[in-house]
Amino acid sequence: MKPRTPRRVVTSVLSGLATAALVVLLPRAVGATWGEVGAVLGRVSAGAVVVLAVVWIAGLWAHSFVLAASLPGLTKRRGLTLSLTGSAVSNVLPLGGAAGTGLNFAMVRRWGFSRSAFGGFLAVTTLLNMISKLGVIAVALALVPILHSASVFGAASLVFLPVPLAVVAVVWMLADERVAAGIGAALDKILRRKPGRLAGKIPELRRSILRVMRNGWRPMTAGMLAYLALQLALLWLCFHVLGISFALPVLFTALAVERLLTLVAITPGAAGVVEVGTAAALVALGGDPAGVAAGLILFRGFTYAMEIPVGGITLAIWFGIQHRTRARSAELEAVAG
């Protein structure tokens, strides 16, 4: 009997095929061809690429302030390391978010942080990520009427609705410990855990989140706002260097769609899904199909593709440092012994 193919391998292959298909079909999905898209991308100069890279790196550095404030004692350099390495893994593996989180957990533990500290860090950063998405979506919805399209407003409201509902549920839990305990008790029943296990842990996690946010809300807020502003600037620059201009409401809408679609992790890093969905939105708002596809390929080239090699190199450097540290510790122990 032939051995069964591991489910993980099958998932990886299917996910890779889906990603490739979505990316290959991107121009066709919006009514353009790869020849037309390539002609637009040919307008990008080497100097423009450097400017885009600087804005991209600045955005990651701004986000490191959020990560450092979410885990007291974490430096911004290490926060940037967590961001790059976690993203590199998440952008390569199907459903890679869990793998990226696992890698970050191992790194944080190596730096001397406790399991509970990482749990609070993960909860805070996840919450802030959701709130940031809601913020961008809220601005986009407020600006959509400027586009004078009631149909677009209605469609956008329907698509974006799940995010504010999720955030409202989380905020309600943070505001009332009884709600947190109730959610924990419900999860104990659903997951068939020992009664009272999650009912006690979730309120404890709630208190940890509130304590961290109470002490670090200023750098968290400043860092997240700067990060989102730089993401918007990068999106604008990606179109600007191609000679394409969009009104601010359109760019905000595109960024909101892009942020929301990153949650659809059916492919690594939601690759393909984000490009096709955001391109469709921009074309619906009056964008040129070839220009839209080219601009989004350039934008995702930095926010998705570039994170893989840069994060991979960062991870290799981290492993090298850890290896040297362990070897040095072993030598000192041998000398002391």
Amino acid identity at 117: A
Whole-number pLDDT of residue 1? 40
**Which DSSP state fits 193?**
P
pTM of the model: 0.83
Q: Which two tokens stand for residue 230?
A: 């730089």
The answer to whether the CB of 142 falls within 8 A of the CB of 252 is: no
d(CA 222, CA 61): 12
Instruction: Supply 144's token pair.
Output: 């959509």
How many Cα atoms are found within 13 Å in the side-chain-facing hemisphere of 254?
A: 31
How far is it, in rounded angstroms, from Cα 75 to Cα 105? 16
- Three-class DSSP category at 25: coil
Q: Which of 220, 222, 252, 192 is CA-nearest to residue 126?
A: 220
Euclidean distance between CA atoms 6 and 124, whole angstroms: 34
pLDDT tens sequence for the chain (337 residues): 444 456 655 555 556 666 666 677 788 888 888 899 999 999 999 999 999 999 999 999 999 999 999 999 999 999 999 999 999 988 887 767 788 899 999 999 999 999 888 988 988 898 888 888 877 877 777 666 665 454 454 555 555 566 666 667 777 877 888 888 887 788 777 777 676 677 777 787 788 788 888 888 899 999 999 999 999 999 999 999 999 998 888 888 889 888 888 877 777 777 778 888 888 888 888 889 999 999 999 999 999 989 999 999 999 999 998 888 877 777 766 666 6
